[in-house]
Structure 1
Amino acid sequence: MMKKFFIAGFILIEALAVSVHGQDNASLKTLKQAFHGKFLIGCADDLTSNNDAYQASIKAQYDIVTPENCMKPQSLHPSEDVYNFKTADAMLDWCQKNGLKVWGHTLGWHSQTPNWFFQAVNPKTEETQQPQQGQPPRRPGARPNFDPNAPRPTMDEMWARGIKGDLASKEVALERLEKHIKTVVGRYKGRIIGWDVFNESIADGGDGSTENLRNFSWYKVVGPEVLAKAFKWAHEADPKAKLYYNDYNIEQGAVQNKGKHASSMLLLKRLIKEGAPITGVGIQGHWHLDTNLADVEKAIENYASLGLKVSITELDVTATGENSGAFSVNQGDRKIPVENYIKQAEVYKKLFEIFMKHSKVIERVTFWGLSDTRSWRRGQDALLFDGELNPKPAYKAVIEASKAK
């Protein structure tokens, strides 16, 4: 039976692929054509190492590009007096030249943010620490007595280890963040249509009774107030830009109003109450074959009930393995069964049918990457195109979903 099922599945997936490749180019819509007038279709990339085929694919398939890394604080603002705008500027110039919009990502985050934001003193050079008698020399910043078999440190432990000296005062940290936001948003005013103002503030594992914010980074040095302030500064720098809160797994628990979704509702209600000029919420959408689609739809409805727009900001659906959007994700078995691609197409189709149903609320659906080999989920074949940019069965399924009413 299994052998017959495998053969049948292989025939089906081949038929789907042929139907995509075999259609006349004039009749096969691109992604942005299929969803024109409903919501924007985007991809994530820094546009630094693409060949002609990838550049052509971006122009043909998408309305908007999110920078994958080059606008994150670590890349853009590595030290207090240094900004690296070269890659971001080049990306923006290319997009505007080719008729693509740009979404900014991200102004505030606990990750990929340099430690100087949080340190009382930011030395320009670090002296090599002298080893104790009988101990080998250490490189600057190395962890003493490292045990490879020790339990993996938590995120807050890793953050604390990177801080040198005392923490900055709340006032100093806020002053630095305000300058960063106003410098970056001000530079691209009128050229970037919106920003992920703060990213992934909610910790995993909560029961939904509180906002459950992370206990390090901005939330330790400043506290919960940092989010509303960041939104206000971004709005002052560009009053016309859309401003989003962005996070992963915040749809989980929506049907029962528990867990991370319940925490996200508490956070968003507070921001609105505090007068933060928030216009939308980004559900990242790092999903898998068994994602709870009822939670996805209910989350969209709940956020809309707050008067917010919604975007799916980092979409991928793994064809194998677990996928939470967090660290230590199981990359799965590289020998992916053919039936997984069929199931992946089904999941993508159902997701886009949900998005179409709520298209008055959905502003943007952005895929996080360009192909299965140009993706942070490489090895899990999570996108619509394979490594050669050939459309997979999931591509045709998404196009079919665009016909839903």
Structure 2
Amino acid sequence: MITRHLITNFILSVALGSTVYGQGNTNTASQKTLKEAYAGKFLIGTANDLRGLSEAELTSVKTQYDINTPENCMKPQPIHPFEDKYNFETPDAMVEWSKQNGVQTWGHTLVWHAQTAPWFFQAVNPKVEESVEPVRGPRGPRDPNAPRPSMSEMWRNSIQGEMASKDVALARLKDHIMTVAGRYKGSIIGWDVVNESIADGGDGTTENLRDFSWYKVVGPEVLTLAFKWAREADPNAQLYYNDYNIEQGAVENKGKHASSMLLLKRLIAEGAPITGVGIQGHWHLDSNLADVEKAIENYASLGLRVAITELDVTATGNNSGAFGVNQGDRTIPAENYQKQAEVYKELFKIFMRHSDVIDRVTFWGISDTRSWRRGQDALLFDGQLQPKPAFKAVIDASSN
């Protein structure tokens, strides 16, 4: 009996003391949580609709994080699929759970070119009960030599019939913002009012706004109007512009960063009640961290607050915030996790140096398997919610 107990205790101690990464003790039981480590500096967040999660995952959310961003359920199409229909069940449940468990909520997003239903831009819209899926004929094989349609062409092809006038589209957008932001007034501390307006590939001499969606039907003024309506709907909410890759080119003031500075300066000049700018933070092992720090400094120079809103650092491949990037080798060597930890540590050292202007740092997901970059192991916890070397690195950076 004594021998059996000794053997059992030995097996348990070995199991508890080991990690798949072999990098020493990263057990959260002996560590501060993320939100404890950065208390008084900035909020630590995660992103999930909080639907279909296990008890362990829900416990991780309320233990590790101050704030949650809905990953999908508050985007325009999921929450407002038809002109006369809103889907509030999932966002209502998410907000209520967060209130009951001491987690704040950030709203995402009111205006976006993607995941926005075509009805916003159609001259005539059927009622929900009249709406049917469009009939499509059989698809033949795609000609590999045919040019791929642009995002603008794909968007226009989604619009049925005549396009709505500018005034009609704006009236619909205002109603959407007033309804959604107004519903969660007092329950959500802030909104990504406008998401990803700047196109890729510009030289930084113009705002380089996208050439379709709201920017085709309305024009550049849609951004300023959206901020004003969001402020009207919730006078106390923080209001942010959010985008990916807008730190790129900051050191040399070129590219997407230069375009973002032009855009933000215009919004301020036009009286948009903008609180801050969200740098999404979809990075990889070779991201230029000097650009990250310079971008924070440049945005702060405009009098804006800054947030890192969708943070992940891929352990393989690259990552920009856009789809279709190099996914890398799915067999990830151990040294990549160490390099990932180093990148995370340097990033959080930067965030600590600028904690006077940074409000939030939000990880875009809960674990490597609850991530849009699944397969690239981009977060601090693996699929079993075990902390990776990056977790300890982030905790260590809090003492700098």
> Which TM-score tier does this pair reach, normalised by the shorter chain?
over 0.9
1:61 aligned to 2:64? yes
1:344 aligned to 2:350? no
Deviation at 1:127, TM superposition (A): 8.0
* Coordinate RMSD, CA, aligned: 1.7
Alpha-carbon distance between aligned partners in 2 of 1:253 and 1:179, rounded to the nearest angstrom: 37
2:25 maps to which residue? 19
Deviations 1:15-39 (A, max 9, x none): 53x3212x7x3x4100000000000
Q: Helix, strand or coil: the match of 1:330?
A: coil
2:301 maps to which residue? 305
Q: Measured at CA, do residues 167 and 141 of structure 1 come closer, stay the same or move farther in structure 2, by a change above 3 Å?
A: farther
Deviation at 1:395, TM superposition (A): 0.3
Q: How does 1:88-237 map to 2 (within 5 A)?
A: 88-124=91-127, 125=130, 140-141=135-136, 147-149=142-144, 150-237=146-233
Tell me which amino acid in the other structure corresponds to 1:186: G
Deviation at 1:146, TM superposition (A): 6.4
Q: Is the 8 A contact 1:46 1:68 kept in 2?
A: yes
Deviations 1:158-189 (A, max 9, x none): 11110111110000000000000000011000
Alpha-carbon distance between aligned partners in 1 of 2:339 and 2:298, rounded to the nearest angstrom: 27
1:375 aligned to 2:378? no
Report which stretch shifted further, 331-340 or 96-105. 331-340
Tell me which amino acid in the other structure corresponds to 1:162: S
Report how many residues are paired.
Answer: 380
Alpha-carbon distance between aligned partners in 1 of 2:269 and 2:137, rounded to the nearest angstrom: 44
Tell me which amino acid in the other structure corresponds to 1:101: Q
Q: Helix, strand or coil: the match of 1:104?
A: strand
Alpha-carbon distance between aligned partners in 2 of 1:229 and 1:250, rounded to the nearest angstrom: 22
Alpha-carbon distance between aligned partners in 2 of 1:368 and 1:159, rounded to the nearest angstrom: 26
Q: Measured at CA, do residues 87 and 283 of structure 1 come closer, stay the same or move farther in structure 2, by a change above 3 Å?
A: same
2:289 maps to which residue? 293
Q: How does 1:226-375 map to 2 (within 5 A)?
A: 226-375=222-371
Q: Measured at CA, do residues 52 and 305 of structure 1 come closer, stay the same or move farther in structure 2, by a change above 3 Å?
A: same
Tell me which amino acid in the other structure corresponds to 1:341: Y
Residue in structure 1 matching 2:81, options 56, 65, 78: 78
Deviations 1:229-284 (A, max 9, x none): 00000000111000000000000000000000000000000000000000000000
Q: Is the 8 A contact 1:13 1:393 kept in 2?
A: no
Q: Is the 8 A contact 2:21 2:334 kept in 1?
A: no
Deviation at 1:285, TM superposition (A): 0.2
Deviations 1:33-81 (A, max 9, x none): 0000000000000011100100010010000000000000110000000
1:136 maps to which residue? none
Q: Helix, strand or coil: the match of 2:261?
A: helix
Deviations 1:92-149 (A, max 9, x none): 0000000000000000000000000001111344789xxxxxxxxxx61569766252
Percent identity, please: 72
Deviation at 1:330, TM superposition (A): 1.7
Q: Helix, strand or coil: the match of 2:323?
A: coil
Tell me which amino acid in the other structure corresponds to 2:122: Q
Tell me which amino acid in the other structure corresponds to 1:393: P
1:397 aligned to 2:393? yes
Deviation at 1:398, TM superposition (A): 0.2
1:44 aligned to 2:47? yes
Q: Is the 8 A contact 1:195 1:241 kept in 2?
A: yes
Q: Measured at CA, do residues 181 and 14 of structure 1 come closer, stay the same or move farther in structure 2, by a change above 3 Å?
A: closer
Alpha-carbon distance between aligned partners in 1 of 2:275 and 2:141, rounded to the nearest angstrom: 46
Q: Helix, strand or coil: the match of 1:173?
A: helix
Q: Is the 8 A contact 1:159 1:217 kept in 2?
A: yes
Tell me which amino acid in the other structure corresponds to 1:292: N
Unaligned runs of 5+ in 2: 1-17
Q: Is the 8 A contact 2:21 2:388 kept in 1?
A: no
Q: Measured at CA, do residues 127 and 395 of structure 1 come closer, stay the same or move farther in structure 2, by a change above 3 Å?
A: closer
Alpha-carbon distance between aligned partners in 1 of 2:234 and 2:150, rounded to the nearest angstrom: 36
Tell me which amino acid in the other structure corresponds to 1:98: N
Q: Is the 8 A contact 1:13 1:338 kept in 2?
A: no
Q: Is the 8 A contact 1:41 1:64 kept in 2?
A: yes
